[in-house]
Structure 1
């Protein structure tokens, strides 16, 4: 089995009034009360040029002998200035 090290970083625009959820480093409560969770996922396709991309579940990944371990999660909300 091989190990692939990776780093994910980025931004996600959310509506004004969104707030981080206390105690959850990757959850945001939207103004309407819904929760979103920003997660890395494993996407699979039948080939490099295929148009059948889909996220696979944890159980599907394990069945393929794939194990995703996230070491760090952090969300900071910043006000947009424009």
Structure 2
């Protein structure tokens, strides 16, 4: 689970949620991570991921948050 900064309700807009999911899928393909489940609520998201042991959970989340935040800020 991770939350946007200050738990802003960014997923109230359907297009933001859809684009977020697309970005996560793209990032996971790049890092060879399998998405088991991905769901968004209005102010947070739950992700169940399957990755190689060489990639720590903290590293995975840092990369996902960095990519999605940058792209969503540019587009919306």
Structure ranking higher on relative contact order (CA contacts 8 Å, 6+ apart): 2
Shorter-chain TM-score: what band? Answer: under 0.3
What TM-score do you get using the length of structure 1 for normalisation?
A: 0.26
Structure (1/2) with the larger helix percentage: 2
